[in-house]
């Protein structure tokens, strides 16, 4: 049993695609799908043991993956990482800028260090990684970049740092799409809504309860799956999106569109797409214990 992708076999054969934050969640799922479609996947993150575990899964499934532990907030480390990927695989055709993170806090309780840490995680590191892929390979050979961001249009109460950094990354996406077009580089963003991934379990019990309550108000009455994000990422990396650049693709099941004065009746008609054969639902949805 392997990944049940909607795309043709061998779509990314011969290509190397970097996936940051590839050790868990959306990054892990996307890496599996890309590998199942023929790509050599470079898994990047801070914890080598998580990266090696995903690489072992991909190898067991018949794919090819390499790993490189890297603090993406460190420009020298990012420069060395991209050089290492090129040295080991000979190229960098795509980048999935997926790494990031945040914590919940009222703005009044958030100090400058906490704010800056998340901005470096979610904005500065994304730009630095994209820039190094461009300077070291894509400027001469072309390529595709997909930035994973979060919707900032209505503000982000309790996470002002991530709203600031993610909206910044959307602007970076639009700017670089213009500047790097002469090199044949396409850059787009994917904006997930609520996705049932392992990252949900990192939030406080209070936030997890809010997520569960919010599901009752969503038009689809469910969260999205990692596979539903990965399939959009794969499209944007593919030649089928050769005229798509500078765009932000919202994948949220209309959960960011509903008005407060509108109620969607209960239903079970919005069936999820689940292509990832190794997917495990977050404990906050299943009620399973950490053990």
Could you report the per-residue pLDDT of 240-263, keeping only the tens digit for each?
Answer: 999 999 999 999 998 877 777 788
Q: Residue 18: helix, strand or coil by DSSP?
A: strand
DSSP 199: G
Residue 57 has pLDDT above 60, yes or no: yes
Domains of the chain (ranges, CATH numbers): 16-268 (3.40.50.720)
Q: Answer for the pair 286, 279: CB distance below 8 angstroms, yes or no.
A: no
Could you report the per-residue pLDDT of 69-99, keeping only the tens digit for each?
Answer: 999 999 999 999 999 999 999 999 999 999 8
pLDDT value for 154: 67
Beta-ladder partners of 95: 18, 145
Q: Could you tell me how far CA 157 lies from the centroid of its own chain?
A: 22
Residue 40 has pLDDT above 90, yes or no: yes
Q: Answer for the pair 135, 85: CB distance below 8 angstroms, yes or no.
A: no
Where residue 24 falls among pLDDT bands split at 50, 70, 90?
very high
CA angle 98, 149, 27 (to 5 degrees): 25
**What does the mean pLDDT of the chain come to?**
90
pLDDT value for 159: 67
pLDDT value for 48: 97
């Amino acid at each position: 049993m392997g990944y049940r992708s909607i795309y043709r076999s061998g779509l990314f054969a011969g290509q190397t695609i970097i996936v940051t934050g590839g050790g868990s969640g959306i990054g892990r799922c996307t890496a599996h799908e890309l590998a199942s479609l023929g790509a050599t996947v470079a898994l990047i993150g801070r914890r080598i043991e998580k990266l090696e575990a995903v690489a072992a899964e991909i190898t067991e499934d018949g794919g090819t993956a390499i790993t490189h532990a890297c603090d993406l907030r460190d420009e020298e480390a990012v420069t060395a990482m991209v050089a290492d990927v090129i040295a080991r695989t000979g190229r960098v055709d795509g980048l999935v800028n997926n790494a990031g993170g945040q914590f919940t806090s009222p703005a009044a309780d958030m100090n400058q260090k906490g704010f800056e840490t998340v901005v470096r995680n979610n904005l500065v590191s994304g730009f630095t990684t994209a820039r190094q892929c461009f300077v070291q390979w894509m400027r001469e050979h072309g390529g595709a970049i997909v930035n994973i961001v979060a919707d900032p249009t209505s503000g982000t109460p309790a996470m002002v740092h991530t709203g600031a950094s993610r909206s910044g990354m959307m602007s970076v996406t639009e700017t670089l799409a213009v500047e790097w077009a002469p090199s044949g580089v396409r850059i787009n963003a994917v904006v997930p809504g609520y996705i049932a991934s392992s990252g949900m379990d990192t939030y406080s019990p209070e936030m997890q309860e809010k997520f569960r309550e919010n599901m009752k108000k969503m038009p689809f009455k469910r969260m999205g799956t990692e596979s539903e994000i990965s399939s959009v990422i794969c499209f944007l990396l593919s030649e089928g999106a050769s005229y798509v650049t500078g765009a932000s693709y919202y994948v949220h099941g209309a959960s960011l569109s509903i008005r407060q004065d509108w109620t969607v009746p209960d239903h079970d008609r919005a069936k999820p797409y689940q292509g990832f054969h190794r997917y495990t639902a977050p404990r906050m949805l299943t009620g399973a214990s950490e053990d």
